[in-house]
Structures are given as structure tokens and as C-alpha cells.
């Protein structure tokens, strides 16, 4: 369910689709589809960086993930409010922190944004839609998936995560 209350409470459709596609394509690898903690990175068992906010998902887990993602679905909004705008800037913050992690700790984490709700983004929030494209071009997100692109592209991405996971497991074991 979404985080809305009363009449606006309803299923979070895109989140459900994302979770099902990751489960189906994740090769049985456990995945944190709803982290309730901050994403943390460690080296030699010691923390080196923690992101400022929780992400919507982490593969395989929120400690030393291969990939993190954010889902922005605002189907039931009737006005374009600050919550929608904040969502875009939260993604930017995560991207900046992940860039800093890569630059200073040499840890490369895949960062994805999945977006749905035509009225919200293509009608009321075009300027924020442009900011999402800017973040993509600046390298603060690896890919932005819009609507049905989630169904078309997410299976490929999850298979890439699985390959990276398996490569890391092989390296960890010699």
C-alpha cells in the first residue's frame, strides 16, 4: 500500500511490479525489497559510509549493496505538491552520495529511479521530469525507467546484478 491515509490509501502498483520482477529474475538470491534502515558500506568489517536516507530497495541487502533503487509513483495526487518535488531532490542527494562513495572509497553501486503516474510527471511536473533526465545525464542515476519500461528493462538489470553478485562471490572464495 502507498503511504497515504483515508480515501487516498491504495495499492502501490509500481512497487508491486518492481518487487515481483526482481523476485522472478533474482536467481533465488535474497533481496531487501523494503529496507527499514539506512544503506551502509563497509570495508574489512568496518563502516566507511552510510547514506543519508533510506532507499526503496537494495540488492542483495542494504549493507554493501550492488544496486539500490527508488520508486516514485504518485497516482492519487490531485495537486503538484512539495512531496513530489522533494522526491526528485532525494534522488539527487542519493546520487551525489554514491558518486562521493565511488570517488573516495572506489565502491561502485548501481542507482536506479523508477517512475510512474503520467498526470504527475508529464502534466503537472514537467520541470521535475527534466531534472530526472538531468540526473541521468550527470551520472547521478544509472537508469531512469518510466512506466512500462520497468516491465521491459528491469529483468535485464536484475540479471546484471545477479552476474555481479556471482562474480563477487567467486572473487570472495578465491
Domain interval for residue 110 = 12-166
Distance CA 12, CA 72 (A): 10
Position 111 in a domain: yes
Whole-prediction pTM: 0.87
Residue 105 lies in a domain: yes
- How far does Cα 21 stand from its chain's mean position? 14
All residues at 6 or more sequence positions from 13 whose CB lies less than 8 Å from its CB, including other chains: 73, 75, 116
Question: In terms of Cα–Cα distance, which of 11, 1, 2, 55 is closest to 31?
Answer: 55
Cell of 154: 528491469
Residue 6 lies in a domain: no
Confirm whether 56 is domain-assigned: yes
CB 40 within 8 A of CB 85: no
pLDDT at residue 149, as a whole number: 92
Which pLDDT belongs to residue 81? 62
**Does residue 174 lie in a domain region?**
no
Pair 53, 32: CB distance under 8 Å? no
* 62 within domain boundaries: yes
pLDDT of the chain, 174 residues: tens digit per residue: 666 667 666 677 889 999 999 999 999 999 999 998 999 999 998 999 999 999 999 999 999 999 999 998 866 655 556 666 777 889 999 999 999 999 999 999 999 999 886 666 666 667 777 888 899 999 999 999 988 999 999 999 999 999 999 998 655 533
Give how many domains the chain has, as a whole number.
1
Cell numbers standing for residue 49: 559510509
Amino acid at each position: 500500500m502507498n503511504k497515504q491515509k483515508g480515501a487516498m490509501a491504495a495499492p502501490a502498483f509500481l512497487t508491486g511490479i518492481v518487487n515481483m520482477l526482481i523476485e522472478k529474475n533474482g536467481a533465488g538470491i535474497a533481496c531487501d525489497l523494503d529496507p527499514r534502515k539506512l544503506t551502509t558500506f563497509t570495508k574489512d568489517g568496518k563502516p566507511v559510509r552510510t547514506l543519508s536516507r533510506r532507499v526503496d530497495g537494495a540488492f542483495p541487502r542494504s549493507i554493501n549493496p550492488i544496486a539500490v533503487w527508488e520508486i516514485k509513483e504518485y497516482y492519487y495526487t490531485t495537486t503538484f505538491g512539495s512531496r513530489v518535488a522533494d522526491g526528485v531532490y532525494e534522488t539527487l542527494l542519493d546520487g551525489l552520495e554514491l558518486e562521493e562513495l565511488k570517488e573516495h572509497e572506489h565502491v561502485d553501486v548501481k542507482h536506479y529511479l523508477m517512475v510512474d503516474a503520467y498526470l504527475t510527471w508529464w502534466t503537472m511536473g514537467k520541470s521535475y521530469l527534466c531534472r530526472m533526465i538531468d540526473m541521468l545525464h550527470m551520472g547521478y542515476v544509472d537508469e531512469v525507467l518510466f512506466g512500462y519500461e520497468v516491465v521491459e528493462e528491469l529483468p535485464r538489470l536484475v540479471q546484471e546484478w545477479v552476474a555481479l553478485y556471482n562474480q563477487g562471490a567467486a572473487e570472495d572464495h578465491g
